[in-house]
């Protein structure tokens, strides 16, 4: 897991922080659903998505620059593939956080009082 966080770079900590906030709100929503908490979860989900994409694209940029600098020592294809694989760590973590969050939200929505027909 430590290597996974290293591969994704600094943005992994941002994603983890957003994940803690999302899970906290999602658990509270699952226990006692209300519309205000759902709006917070939606906003945090957008922040998670943008952070995930920013981390992915910035890591791709670093990969491209690094591959050019290291082309004398390593094959270009190998550098690009390793860098791309490391870049996907942001998407993997962000998607996992989002998946768990919205499973919890679906539990809250099912339990939410309202018109059931």
Domain limits, the chain: 2-108
79 half-sphere exposure, CB direction, 13 A CA radius: 16
% of residues, the chain, pLDDT over 70: 97
pLDDT at 12 over 90: yes
68 or 103: whose pLDDT is higher? 103
pTM of the predicted model, to two decimals? 0.85
Q: Across residues 57-61, what is the average pLDDT?
A: 93
């Amino acid at each position: 897991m430590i290597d996974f966080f290293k591969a994704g770079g600094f943005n992994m900590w941002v994603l983890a922080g957003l994940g803690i906030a999302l899970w906290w709100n999602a658990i509270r929503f699952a226990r006692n659903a209300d519309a205000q908490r759902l709006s917070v979860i939606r906003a945090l989900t957008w922040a998670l998505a943008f952070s995930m994409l920013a981390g992915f694209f910035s890591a791709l940029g670093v990969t491209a620059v690094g591959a050019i600098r290291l082309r004398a020592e390593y094959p270009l294809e190998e550098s690009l593939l390793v860098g791309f694989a490391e870049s996907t760590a942001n998407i993997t973590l962000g998607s996992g956080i989002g998946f768990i969050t919205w499973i919890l939200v679906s539990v809250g929505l099912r339990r939410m009082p309202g018109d059931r027909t």
